[in-house]
Amino acid sequence: MVERLTNTLLAPYTTLGVGGPADSLAITQTYDETLDVLHTTDEPLWFLGYGSNCLISDEGLRGTTILWRGGEISREGAMLTVDAGVLWDDLVRTTIDHQLWGFELMSEIPSTVGGAVFGNIAAYGQQVSDTLQWVEVYDTNSKQMHTLQHDDITFAYRQSSLQSEPHRKILRAGFKLSTTPLHALKYDSALAIADELKLDPSKLEECRKIIVETRTRAGSIYHYDDPNAERTAGSFFKNPLVSIEQAKMVAGFDETGKTLDRIINQSKIHGGNAQRASAAHVLLAAGFHRGQTWGNVRLHPHHVLKIETLPGATAQEVYDVTQLILETVKDKLDITLEPEVKFLGNF
C-alpha cells in the first residue's frame, strides 16, 4: 500500500542527510503502486530511490516525490526483467546465485536499478550499458508507457541520454547476461587483493568477494539501513577528460606509489580512456586535501573525492563548496570537473 506524506523532510532519505521537504511524498514498494501514483499525479514529479547520488536543495522539492524502494526480478535463462525500484546489489546477488556474469564487477554500488540505468553506473571496467537490452519508461507528457531499446539511448562514461529527458521515468529494465565471463578483472588494486586472499577472479562468487573487499578497503560500502553510515554521496565528481600533458601532470599527485604507466592503464580500464584523469588526483593537484573543512562540510579525512556533511550542515553549504571546488580546479588547472551527484531543486 502506498504511504503518502505531506511537507516531509527529504534529508533522512538521502545519504548526505541534507535537503528540504517534499510537498507530497509517496513511498512505494511495487511496480503497480508506483504506476498508480504516476497515473494520478501531475508534474512536477521526482523519483528518489535510496538517495545515494543526489543533493536536494534546502527549499525541498515542489510537487510529488516518489520514493520507490522495492520491486521484482524475473529471469528466463540469461535474460532478466527488473523493476526500477530494486536495490542494485540485490540484483547483483541474484545473478551471482544463478551463475550469470555481467554485473559482478559492479557489486555493492548503492543505487536502485533505475538509478543505475539513468546514470550508466560503472566499476572496474564494467558498465550497465554493456548488458542492457531495453528500458520501459513512463512519459509524464503523454502519460503513456514506452519501451526504449538499447540503441534508442545514448550512453557514455557515467552518463545516459535519459538524464536530459526528465519527462521519462524509468519503470523497468531488461538485461542479457552470460553464463561465461564478459569482462576480465584487470584493476591492479583488486588483483592485489585477489592474490592476498587467494581468490580466483575467474570464479564468479570469488570475483564478487574480491570486488566487495576492494570496495570495503576503499571505504566505498554504503548500506541504507546502517545507522552509522557516513554522510556522503560517494565519489562526488566524475573523472574528467584532459589533455595528455594534463593527465601526466595530475598523475604526479598520486599517493600510492603507482608508476605513470600503471595510472594510465587504470584510467583506460576505469574510465575507458587514458586521458580520463582521476578526479581525486585533480583535486590534490588543485591544492585540496583530505579533511579540508568549510563550516559543516568537509572533504572526507580518508577519501578526498567524497564530500561529507557534518551535524548542522545544509544543502546550500554543500552546493557552495562544490562550486568553490569547480571554480578552483578550472582557475588553477584549466580542467573542467563535472559533479557525478545530481542537484535537485533550486540552489
Query: Domain tally for the chain?
Result: 3
| E-only strand ranges, 69-212 | 73-76, 79-83, 122-123, 126-127, 132-139, 144-149, 155-156, 159-160, 168-176
d(CA 116, CA 100): 18
CATH number, domain of 7, equals 3.30.43.10
Amino acid at 76: E
Residues whose CB is less than 8 angstroms from the CB of residue 300 and which lie 6 or more positions away in sequence, other chains included? 219, 230, 232, 290, 291, 306, 307, 308
Question: Is 196 found in the same domain as 90?
Answer: yes
Q: What Rg, from alpha-carbon coordinates, does the chain have? A: 20
Choose one of 165, 200, 226: the last residue of a domain. Answer: 226
Burial of 252 (0-12, 13-18, 19+ CB in 10 A): exposed
Which of 68, 87, 116 terminates a domain? The answer is 68
Both 80 and 216 in one domain: the answer is: yes
Asked whether residue 149 falls in the same domain as residue 239, the answer is no
For residue 239, what is the domain's CATH number? 3.90.78.10
Question: 326 and 206 share a domain?
Answer: no
User: What is the structure's pLDDT at 26?
Assistant: 97
* DSSP letters for 247-306: HHHHHTT-SS---HHHHHHHHHHHHSSTTB--HHHHHHHTT--TT-EETTEEE-SS-TTE
State the angle between helix axes of 204-217 and 88-97 in degrees (0 to 180), rounded to the nearest 10: 150
State residue 156 phi and psi, 5-degree precision. Answer: -145, -175
- Residue 247, all three cell numbers: 593527465
The whole-number pLDDT of residue 271 equals 58
**Together in a domain, 93 and 191:** yes
Co-location of 238 and 217 in the same domain:
no
Over residues 173-181, the mean pLDDT reads 97
CA-nearest of 68, 116, 105, 112 to 90 is 112
pLDDT for the residue numbered 252: 82
> Are residues 211 and 95 part of one domain?
yes
Average pLDDT, the chain: 93
* pLDDT range class, residue 6, cuts 50, 70, 90: very high
Whether 329 and 259 map to the same domain: the answer is yes
- What's the mean pLDDT in 65-79? 97
122-154: b (≥16 Cβ within 10 Å) or e: bbbbbbbbbbbebbbbbebeeeeeeebeeeebe
- Per-residue pLDDT at 243: 87
Separation of alpha carbons 188 and 296, rounded Å? 35
Contact (CB, 8 A) for 273 and 203: no
Residues 315 and 269 in one domain: yes
* Domain match, 28 and 57 both: yes
pLDDT in tens, 17-66: 999 999 999 999 999 999 999 998 887 999 999 999 999 999 999 999 99
Distance of alpha carbon 296 from alpha carbon 312, whole angstroms = 6
Going along the chain, which residue ranges are E strands? 3-9, 21-28, 45-48, 54-56, 61-68, 73-76, 79-83, 122-123, 126-127, 132-139, 144-149, 155-156, 159-160, 168-176, 232-235, 293-294, 297-299, 306-309, 342-344
d(CA 70, CA 27): 10
Domain range for 84 is: 72-226
Q: Is 67 exposed, middle or buried (0-12, 13-18, 19+ CB in 10 A)?
A: buried
Per the CB < 8 A criterion, the answer to whether 314 and 307 are in contact is no
- The neighbour count for residue 96, using CB atoms within 10 Å, is 18
Same domain assignment for residues 192 and 118 = yes
Given 194, 226, 258, the domain boundary residue is 226
Yes or no: say if 49 and 42 are a contact pair by the CB < 8 Å rule: no
CA distance 202 to 209: 12
Model confidence pLDDT, tens digit, residues 255-307: 776 666 666 666 665 656 667 788 999 999 999 999 999 999 999 999 999 99
State the Cα–Cα distance between residues 291 and 284, nearest whole angstrom: 12
Cell of 177: 547476461
**Per-residue pLDDT at 263:** 63
Of 32-46, 64-78, 106-120, minimum mean pLDDT range = 32-46
- Whether 82 and 189 map to the same domain: the answer is yes
Provide the CATH number for the domain around residue 216: 3.30.465.10
